[in-house]
Structure 1
Amino acid sequence: MAVSPELERLQHVEPSRFVAFSFPNPLLHDASSPYGDGAGFLRVAVLDSPLRPPPAPAPRTAAMLVPAGRHRDWIFSTRAGHLHLLLSSQPQCHLSRLVLVGPELTAPSPRGVVSCAAARPDPDPAHARLLPLLLALCPRAAFGGNAIPDVPLLSFHDDLLRIAPVKVATGPVVGEMVVEDVAVDCTPHPVELRRRLRFKRTPFLVQTQVRLVRRSSPGDSCLLEALDEVAGGSLQPEVGGELVQPYLQAMASGLAVIAPSMDESFRLGDKPRCLCAGIGGGALLMSIRMGLQCDVLGIEADDVVLDVARSHFGLVEDEFLQVRVGDAIQTIQDFARKGEHDMNFRAIMVDLDSCDPICGVSAPPLEMTQESVLLAARTILHRNGALILNVIPPAADGTFYKGLIDVLRRVFSELYEISVGNGENFILVATASPVETILSDGSGSFLTELRTLSGGFLEHITRI
């Protein structure tokens, strides 16, 4: 049998091993198949966890059917996406191995696909048809005591109703990226159309997400159909308004800690200067420039990302919003070394991710957590300024978050935390000087404008 060499290799769990192969479709002509009758062969991808499993009688294996129409999505077609699926299921399942089953990647994918984000058990009748294959893919140790292991079939659900790819580009730093328009289920609120940017190296991480609005508004009944229009001609990004992504809302909320300092700048007739390390599609920059009237400098490592931000997300540079191509961490160190007077930032906002090929997505990069880099950041801050960090602790390193907090405490005066509530992102706010109070009466002040951008996160800032 053609697959036997692969099966031989898979008899034992080997951390981070990834194997993909074609297999005759046992769901062909079966009513339980989500892929119709056209797929004679399936793509079977097997990934072993990079994490050391907890003590258990036997390694656990689970499987997932790729949602119909999503097989070419990087979430399901790349090792990086597969790894995120496996790691996101760990708190419930403690998996040693995750098997993805779906159409071969050469199968066509429609322009607009309806999606079926958590993994959860699904009593799909296809499970019985796939069970012989799934048992054959279990490691030998799973059959201890002549027991037949349970191989649950997990399902993937998200809030997307439709996806329409807009542009695929490749940058010299981030690699392949995709701009796509999506219809999002916002129950109990109406469906929203959004444009988002994703990188292939981190397919689960939405780099930027903004609302789409019609150039003319014929009515909500045509919202879904608008995504299928050629080039999305009737849609345009909403620029400078309320932030859509919760973690960006939380990052903006971090400015509340230094609201008196921001107000002081306005009273002096100045616009508060903010340095944004990492731009993506530019939603955060445009919101704090237009919504908060700040003077913004953005640093982005990849010039193609900047081109995409300008052409598809409404990023517009002007006297008070400037962008540079370069390494943001090196730029912070260069500013500190030169001691330039105009580098007196009220806020430094760091939204940089680090994709470890073994452990998945994390943020910020390890380099940003070094004491010398944090000292450089404090050097270029206003005396009443703050460093605001988007943090995604690595799944394989339980000490990362505590270590980052410890080094921030050594360098800065006070430390605050905002939990995004998604189980992944945390926002840390480190101040250069003590803060007497936050969230005082903000009537007519900077806080009033900040509340319109940042949802309800201002109420969830805690000192640590």
Structure 2
Amino acid sequence: MTSLSPSTFETIIPSRYISFILPDSHHLQIAVLDSPAAAGASTAAMWIPPGRESDWIFSTFSGHLQLLLSSPTAQPLSRLILVGNSASHSQPTSYNSTLHLSNPTALQQNLAPLLSALTPKSAFLGDGEVPEVPFLIYEDEVVKSSVLEVCQGSCVGEMLIENVELENAGVKEFRRRLRFKRMPNFVQTQMRIRPKEKSCLENLDSVEFELDQGVLVQPYLSPMVAGISVISQFLEGQLRDQSRPKALCLGVGGGALLGFLRAHLDFEVVGVEEDEVVLEVAKKYFGLGSDEFIYLFAEDGIKYVKKLAKNESEKSRFHVVMVDLDSSDPTTGVCAPPKEFLRKSVLVAARAVLCEEGVLITNAIPSSKLHYERLISKFLEVFEELYEIDVGNGENFVLIATKSKTENALDSNEGAFLNKLKLVVSRSYIDSCDEKFVPSPDVLRTRAYKSEL
């Protein structure tokens, strides 16, 4: 800790934290974040919530990128100045929102000259007027958190498991979460948990919880399950033959989707996750276990599909392939599925591992409208029909691609499987599967040409 010198910020190094002491004895740290995407002179400052200074979103390069790319300002920020208490830990620690900045207005006034000095010169008007740097408040639903473990995977890198208390519109809820450091503010897996005893909830570190596996809380998982409705009439025949439907899940995370398909829809499930440590975390903290109807493999999902596609046995075919893979490149932001999965050879292999009436369902987080249009075009080149569910959170879409033409499940409201599906997922998601994308003329011509070969 040193007092602030006028020369400290003469050379700005993006994402470097500098600690100093203000005249009122506040021990603060400052980081200047410059956007690789936005040009111009749009600058803002942000308070780091007390107690979260070492959280990955505020202390890593990839976290800083997420803050810049998701800023709630009218125009994209070219510079964000982070202001927080000096962190004493290198890893995220338990958090309690009852901690607050003391007299933030006075702090803001004391920091005004410094923020002005850190504003790009292009922001200053010719009349000499000093631009105002607005202060942003970082907010999410997390009221408290308790870090259970930070561990290292050979493929995904550092990961964190935590219990959190959330509050939304006055309603409190507890969840267990898995996060990857490479995408620090992206919740990879979350599951509802219940305190075994409702007393002494002030300190989550001392509370014992039990898992509630009866509901899918990750926003896009219920829509993914709802996508199975497009082949529900075919699955009725499977049930009549007392044959258990089979699902292949590429990307396991904490295993909430696998456990749900097994427990609520009687699927036989194969889960493929590239990092064995992630599978161990799923078993230890999220209740996922191998049994006679859940099989887990620590392999690269794309390589696994290509290998499986070479097996011509009908016994190796699946009724449903669920794809929950995201890009590992933090510079692109959160994006799914990864570009590697969208290669034609991979989509053809994924189609090959489906039975004739099968369906591929993927979580999609497009980086732009153009990216989403290209993604849809790639699926339509390989699959017969394509349906879409808008998750409604402004981020996720679910795409449902069929290997062959299907009868619309909603034409009939009868059937044991469809009725079971309606009990566990929202009817509105099932209704969203009523209309399918129509292939463009170029896609139709490509298909016609291939059929002649």
**TM-score scaled by length of structure 2:** 0.87
Counterpart AA for 1:428: L
Distance (Å, rounded) in 2 between the aligned partners of 1:227 and 1:23: 30
State the partner residue of 2:350. Answer: 377
Distance (Å, rounded) in 1 between the aligned partners of 2:23 and 2:326: 39
State the partner residue of 1:154. Answer: 136
Deviations 1:338-367 (A, max 9, x none): 323322111111111113232222111111
RMSD of the alignment, in Å? 2.4
Please tell me whether the aligned partners of residues 112 and 227 of structure 1 are also in contact (alpha carbons under 8 angstroms). Answer: no
State the partner residue of 1:59. Answer: 41
Distance (Å, rounded) in 2 between the aligned partners of 1:459 and 1:131: 53
Counterpart AA for 2:116: L
Does residue 397 of structure 2 align to residue 454 of structure 1?
no
Q: Taking structure 1 as reference, are residues 276 and 134 closer, same or farther at Cα in structure 2, changes over 3 Å only?
A: same
Distance (Å, rounded) in 1 between the aligned partners of 2:6 and 2:136: 24
Distance (Å, rounded) in 2 between the aligned partners of 1:27 and 1:181: 38
State the partner residue of 1:176. Answer: 158
Q: Which moved more, 1:288-297 or 1:102-111?
A: 102-111
Distance (Å, rounded) in 1 between the aligned partners of 2:200 and 2:377: 48
State the partner residue of 1:165. Answer: 147
Please tell me whether the aligned partners of residues 415 and 428 of structure 1 are also in contact (alpha carbons under 8 angstroms). Answer: yes
Please tell me whether the aligned partners of residues 261 and 346 of structure 1 are also in contact (alpha carbons under 8 angstroms). Answer: no
Does residue 100 of structure 2 align to residue 114 of structure 1?
no
Does residue 133 of structure 2 align to residue 133 of structure 1?
no
SS of the residue corresponding to residue 119 of structure 2 reads: coil
Q: Taking structure 1 as reference, are residues 297 and 84 closer, same or farther at Cα in structure 2, changes over 3 Å only?
A: same
Does residue 226 of structure 2 align to residue 253 of structure 1?
yes
Distance (Å, rounded) in 2 between the aligned partners of 1:459 and 1:223: 43
Equivalent in 201, 204, 210 of residue 227 of structure 1: 204
Counterpart AA for 1:127: Q
Please tell me whether the aligned partners of residues 27 and 126 of structure 1 are also in contact (alpha carbons under 8 angstroms). Answer: no
Superposition deviation, residue 89 in structure 1: 1.7
Q: Which moved more, 1:430-439 or 1:305-314?
A: 430-439
SS of the residue corresponding to residue 213 of structure 1 reads: strand
Superposition deviation, residue 2 in structure 1: 5.3
State the partner residue of 1:386. Answer: 359
State the partner residue of 1:13. Answer: none
Deviations 1:15-52 (A, max 9, x none): xxx331324243845xxxxxxxxx52x22222222224
SS of the residue corresponding to residue 203 of structure 1 reads: coil
Please tell me whether the aligned partners of residues 20 and 29 of structure 2 are also in contact (alpha carbons under 8 angstroms). Answer: no
Structure 1 residues not aligned, in runs of 5+? 11-17, 30-38, 117-122
State the partner residue of 2:450. Answer: none
Superposition deviation, residue 110 in structure 1: 6.2
State the partner residue of 1:87. Answer: 69
SS of the residue corresponding to residue 269 of structure 2 reads: strand
Aligned 1:206-355 pairs, distance under 5 A: 206-215=187-196, 218-219=197-198, 222=199, 224-225=201-202, 227-229=204-206, 232=207, 234-239=208-213, 241-355=214-328
Identity among equivalent pairs (%): 41
Please tell me whether the aligned partners of residues 322 and 362 of structure 2 are also in contact (alpha carbons under 8 angstroms). Answer: yes
Does residue 381 of structure 2 align to residue 410 of structure 1?
yes
SS of the residue corresponding to residue 421 of structure 2 reads: helix
Q: Which moved more, 1:439-448 or 1:380-389?
A: 439-448
Equivalent in 7, 13, 16 of residue 4 of structure 1: 7
Distance (Å, rounded) in 2 between the aligned partners of 1:279 and 1:27: 51
Please tell me whether the aligned partners of residues 7 and 137 of structure 1 are also in contact (alpha carbons under 8 angstroms). Answer: no
State the partner residue of 2:33. Answer: 47
Please tell me whether the aligned partners of residues 414 and 433 of structure 1 are also in contact (alpha carbons under 8 angstroms). Answer: yes
Distance (Å, rounded) in 1 between the aligned partners of 2:394 and 2:82: 23
Counterpart AA for 1:208: T
Does residue 20 of structure 2 align to residue 20 of structure 1?
no
**TM-score scaled by length of structure 1:** 0.85
Deviations 1:70-101 (A, max 9, x none): 11111111121121121112673321111211
Please tell me whether the aligned partners of residues 183 and 224 of structure 1 are also in contact (alpha carbons under 8 angstroms). Answer: no
Please tell me whether the aligned partners of residues 71 and 102 of structure 1 are also in contact (alpha carbons under 8 angstroms). Answer: yes
Counterpart AA for 2:169: T
Deviations 1:405-459 (A, max 9, x none): 1111111111111112222211111111222213345455222332343345323
Count residues in correspondence. 426
Please tell me whether the aligned partners of residues 183 and 192 of structure 1 are also in contact (alpha carbons under 8 angstroms). Answer: yes
